[in-house]
Amino acid sequence: MLGRTDANRTQEESVADPVPAGSDVSAGTYKCTNCGNELQVSSTTHLPPCPSCGNGEYQTMSGGDAAADPYPESK
């Protein structure tokens, strides 16, 4: 829907799936969608490209997108 603001998005709509590298994410475990490598982060941080294969997308195993993602429209 055009003209909606981030404040009007539901939680389901605001969480990227898959999560792109560079996203601000909450503490949790993220699995590379290419090679299956699992990356664990302990605090809100930017997800890097996969250290095993360089892929830029992750499946969320636990945790989730941080509310302050600087690139919400790129999802």
Domain containing 48 equals: 24-63
Residue 12 lies in a domain: no
Angle at 4 (CA atoms; ends 27, 72), nearest 5 degrees: 30
Separation of alpha carbons 30 and 60, rounded Å: 5
pTM of the model: 0.63
Q: What is the pLDDT along the chain (75 residues), one digit of tens a residue?
A: 444 444 444 444 456 788 888 888 888 999 999 999 999 988 777 889 999 999 999 999 987 655 544 555 554
**Checking DSSP bridges between strand 38-41 and strand 45-46, what pairing results, if any?**
unpaired
The domain total for the chain is 1
What's the rounded Cα separation, in Å, for the pair 58 and 25? 11
In a domain, 14, yes or no: no
Does the residue 33 lie in any domain?
yes
pLDDT of residue 22: 86
Instruction: Please report the pLDDT score of residue 65 as a whole number.
Output: 55
Residue 73 lies inside a defined structural domain of this protein: no
Q: What is the model's pLDDT at position 29?
A: 93
Residue 8 counted as domain residue: no
User: What tokens does 62 get?
Assistant: 């636990």
